[in-house]
Homo-oligomer: A and B are copies of this chain.
Amino acid sequence: MDMVNAALIAKKASVGLAVEKTEKKNLALRLIAEGLMEKKDVIFQKNLLDIERSKKENLPAPLLKRLKFDEKKLAEAVEGINSLVDMQEPVGRTLMATELDECLELYKVSCPIGVIGVIFESRPDALVQISSLCLKSGNAAMLKGGSEAIETNRILMEVIQTASEKAGIGKGWIHLIETRDDVKEMLKLDEYIDLIIPRGSNDFVRYIMDNSRIPVLGHSDGICHCYVDKDADITMAVNVVFDSKTQYVAVCNATETLLVHKSIAKTFLPELKKKTDEMNVELRGCEKVQSIINVAAASEEDWKTEYLDYILSIKVVDSVDEAIEHINTYGSGHTDAIITSNKDNATKFMETVDSGNVFWNCSTRFSDGFKYGFGAEVGISTNKIHARGPMGLEGLLIYKYKLIGKGHIVSDYAEQRSTFTHKKLDKIAP
């Protein structure tokens, strides 16, 4: 593929898409959902090809699970699209209105970012989610899925392109990128592409950041923590930690490290082990953990590792402060939970842990755009600018300032002939 040309086409298409009518975008979304249902047999068939090939190539089991696109994933994808249709038009919303002076009115109005490049793992459902989020938010998109999912991605892309064209959306707003060389090319095109969202390992995100001038919204490692405080309810703590670790191990919001307050460790850890043994979770602990339950030793490396597997590292800490310090040192700013009935400790934890998602008495697995009620997500940002945590529509929007006057000039204010009123207006941009 000629990437420069593709990006140029996307840029041009983005101008039209940015001002596209709500009805047309929603029609396109509905037709995409219909198209997916109609073509589901072909889609499943193609997905089977991907799975069989990947099995032969010895793709690890958790990744095979992500690669699967079946009735359940399809139903979720369609549900996600339908909830997007129901959502309010995100473009053109007046976010602020101020009278600067009589007949000089400032409006802050939401608008699409432009052209978004998304590089994601081998989950074909991600392609559907990201495409529909881009469409609803009026952004053109260049998508690179995992090469394991190539057959599934192609047929999904075909459905999306056909449906959106049928709805009257101008061609060229969405492109599928298939090779690593094309990704390399894409990273150079800061003239046409406004944002890159890479989802994957920390190393991969670093590679992208080091090789592009385009702003990057990183979905890097998910090294999530549960901290069981001294004032935790043991049963609740066991359940929340077990769910955080095992409910779906191959995802970024699964817990990788458990921190336990020293005064509760002796009663809590044996209870937890009973439960995790049912699922054959491998536990690795610090020396204090090893003095309580029979587990392998955890090394420094464990605190930095995203297992994405049935492995949990455990550390005993002296205080909530030590837990916070550990998380801010080794965590990835993704999602961290405290289990406690102590409100002060919970507040301190939630205010001081520097992560996009800080939880109290619930599983880290809740950290997800769909569960948050965003309809779908384009990724989970561990950055500290623009968007943090699960990014739904809002992460794909920016704003512009519109100022409307009647010939107002600045020298009148500089020379004190006029003064600013700066009055909040309760009206929407004309």
Contacts and interface: CB of A to CB of B under 8 A. Distances in A.
Interface in A365-405: 365-367, 371-373, 383-386, 388-390, 398-405
A266 interface: no
Contacts of A401: 356-358, 367, 372, 388-390
A82 B354 CA distance: 30
A358 B400 contact: yes
A406 interface: yes
B385 A386 contact: yes
Copies of this chain = 2
Contacts of A367: 401, 403
A384 B361 contact: no
Chain A interface SS verdict (over half): mixed
Interface string A19-42: 100000000000000000000000
Given A100-B373, A351-B18, A404-B361, A399 B388 contact: yes
Interface residues of A, number: 74
Interface string A83-111: 00000000000000010100010100000
Given A357-B400, A410-B363, A384 B422 contact: no
B98 A372 contact: yes
Interface of A: 15, 18-19, 98, 100, 104, 106, 113-114, 194-195, 206, 209-210, 213, 215-217, 233, 235-236, 239-240, 242-243, 247-248, 328, 339, 346, 350-352, 354-363, 365-367, 371-373, 383-386, 388-390, 398-411, 413-414, 420, 422
12 contacts: A15-B352, A98-B372, A100-B372, A106-B372, A243-B409, A247-B409, A247-B414, A339-B407, A356-B400, A357-B401, A359-B403, A361-B406
